A and B are shown apart, each in its own frame.
Chain A
């Protein structure tokens, strides 16, 4: 039996009523997304059309492995709700996701929320990744939360933030602010900042690095800022 600490309270990880953090995402991290819950990656829609697809898929891949392991059943599916019709499955397979586990939905924009909700509700689905452009209401986010609890998987919503996006309305276990970060010639980087999460350090920022040639990706901690110290006197 596994026990985890959430909000200074010990909970069994199979407890139906609780969102449980997932382990194993990176050695340096306790957890990044929660199972049986909705997690959000927020992005700036005015930053050159950037959408954090790779960080979402990287987290989804690890989440899928963990959900499948905990469910002790067959490999569950990863559903990618692709309302932009640009998702490229070979890139996901190259990251180590079995093609049999991958399903792509291409609904119309007005059907994205209902399609994602229905997938989250299904116990055969491990992870649902959906890009939600339209503003969500309080009823919508509550539905997402209930659907994730019922399905037992991980919900990953990619939402823009800013004016008229209603991004402040949420019922998510974790919320991350994601933005591209300058990389190197063969290393691409993203910056993830935690802005909401129970039992975690709000404001914590981590970097996700992807190596172009090997396809390997891993999380790294940002070095802590240097503490200002008074100059040491020569006499001491």
Chain B
């Protein structure tokens, strides 16, 4: 079904583009959260290409004694997922394949199957749970085999010759005759350092020294792990009695490193902007994002180029710390018909739909207002739904149009909820100032069409 058909059936439909990378990151994050129940959490198999639901495997061996039994442990996991608002199907079985097969065919109630009743529980399941490709499944169905029990009843020695090696492999994995290794999600202890004082610290220089001490601890841990900083979080908690809010600052580095002098300078840029009048008693320095060391050989002949790039990165780190991360923008072009959506600030490690190959049209203004400004326009001929702008008023001044080019029709992105089409005009007044206007046709009262004009930018 196309998005247009779906929207015709459901007017309030929200369309979200598929993003497998983001889904995987979210699943990994959920898996890491679940390590509170067991240290051994794995993501589902990667080679499974069919659109099977996302799966996480928790090895609960020996963990039930810490949670007063397996039923209570499963209940805690289920409740946690419900609190997150994530619909889940759960099953506990002695093998990976069996737990997945029971979970996908199960309803909302978690099912626990022991080793003795494993085969009996698997027999009534459909053959789709065997994780086979479509051709083998088709062959099995052609022979009238619909359930796992019927396949298990077939002579084992004939299966590879008739259906290939995958069927016997999956059956063995299902019953536990063949091991099925999974890759554990690696859990890394977060790098967090904190200091607490009895009395509030008010002097910015003292606060700076505290953060230098915390930074030294963080750098020691990073060195031990062979990692470099990508992002730092500073948290300053005031004494509870003052009723003041906790101060949080983020320092994002343009390149990962652990150069103490540079980091100390960035910390100072942030500390000097903090209001320290009432002081703080608890100080945290967290490293939520760090990357492995990647020692590349420095340039032998183009050392000046490397120096310039390093200076540039340091400059933008300093400016980000001083002005705020949102004030330093690396633009990124985005494929969109709408002028205001044709670019976005490049986010750290989260690239958007960049269009590096498509050049923007030259007829775009250098100044684009964040929001189009509604203006009054006199059109010629008098029918303002099709006429060209003759004069307009903006900012208390009347501009008589000397030249007008247009309309350039830009249809709005209806799949994002924008329905109005814009007719853009490039107009120049008698002085020589050039403006970018657009007209939108609305359905007014009594079903009449009304034109509204907006100023969107200036060619100056």
Residues of A with Cβ closer than 8 Å to B? 47-54, 57, 71-74, 76-77, 84-95, 99, 102-108, 111, 114-115, 118-119, 122-125, 179-186, 188-190, 210, 212-215
For residue B307, which residues in chain A have a CB less than 8 angstroms away from its CB? 123
Give chain B interface residues in 309-363, CB to chain A under 8 Å: 309-312, 315-316, 318-319, 322-323, 326-333, 339, 342-343, 356, 359-363
Quick one: which of B309, B331, B361 contacts A99, CB cutoff 8 A? Answer: B331
Contact A86 B305 (CB under 8 A): no
Contact B366 A54 (CB under 8 A): yes
Contact B319 A87 (CB under 8 A): no
For residue A118, which residues in chain B have a CB less than 8 angstroms away from its CB? 315, 318-319
- Bound Cα distance A168, B198 (Å): 56
Contact B312 A77 (CB under 8 A): yes
Contact A88 B428 (CB under 8 A): no
User: 20 A-B Cβ contacts within 8 A?
Assistant: A73-B304, A85-B370, A86-B368, A86-B457, A88-B368, A90-B339, A90-B364, A92-B366, A95-B362, A102-B330, A103-B328, A124-B308, A124-B312, A180-B434, A181-B432, A182-B432, A183-B428, A185-B403, A188-B459, A212-B362
For residue A125, which residues in chain B have a CB less than 8 angstroms away from its CB? 312, 315
- A107 nearest CB neighbor, chain B only: B323
Quick one: which of B308, B311, B316, B327 contacts A107, CB cutoff 8 A? Answer: B327
Residues of B with Cβ closer than 8 Å to A? 302, 304-305, 307-312, 315-316, 318-319, 322-323, 326-333, 339, 342-343, 356, 359-370, 395, 397, 399, 402-403, 405, 426, 428-434, 457-460
Quick one: which of B302, B305, B362 contacts A94, CB cutoff 8 A? Answer: B362
- Bound Cα distance A104, B311 (Å): 17
- Bound Cα distance A92, B361 (Å): 10
For residue B399, which residues in chain A have a CB less than 8 angstroms away from its CB? 48
19 more contacts with CB within 8 A, not counting A71-B308, A122-B315, A215-B362, are A53-B366, A54-B460, A57-B366, A73-B308, A88-B366, A88-B368, A89-B333, A93-B360, A99-B332, A103-B316, A104-B328, A105-B323, A111-B323, A123-B308, A124-B310, A124-B311, A182-B402, A185-B405, A186-B405
Tell me, rounded to whole Å, the shortest Cβ–Cβ distance linking B454 to chain A. Answer: 15
- Bound Cα distance A174, B457 (Å): 29
Contact B365 A91 (CB under 8 A): yes
- Bound Cα distance A102, B316 (Å): 12
- A57 nearest CB neighbor, chain B only: B366
- A180-B432, A188-B459 known; A213+B327 contact, CB < 8 A: no
Tell me, rounded to whole Å, the shortest Cβ–Cβ distance linking A189 to chain B. Answer: 6
Contact A48 B405 (CB under 8 A): no
Tell me, rounded to whole Å, the shortest Cβ–Cβ distance linking A105 to chain B. Answer: 6
Contact A182 B364 (CB under 8 A): no
Tell me, rounded to whole Å, the shortest Cβ–Cβ distance linking A130 to chain B. Answer: 13
Contact A47 B431 (CB under 8 A): yes
- B334 nearest CB neighbor, chain A only: A90
Tell me, rounded to whole Å, the shortest Cβ–Cβ distance linking A7 to chain B. Answer: 30
For residue A182, which residues in chain B have a CB less than 8 angstroms away from its CB? 402, 428, 430-432
- Bound Cα distance A87, B364 (Å): 11
Quick one: which of A50, A74, A105, A122 contacts B329, CB cutoff 8 A? Answer: A105
Contact A213 B362 (CB under 8 A): yes
- Bound Cα distance A189, B322 (Å): 38
Contact A104 B460 (CB under 8 A): no
- Bound Cα distance A125, B342 (Å): 25
- A73-B305, A88-B367 known; A115+B362 contact, CB < 8 A: no
For residue A124, which residues in chain B have a CB less than 8 angstroms away from its CB? 308-312, 315
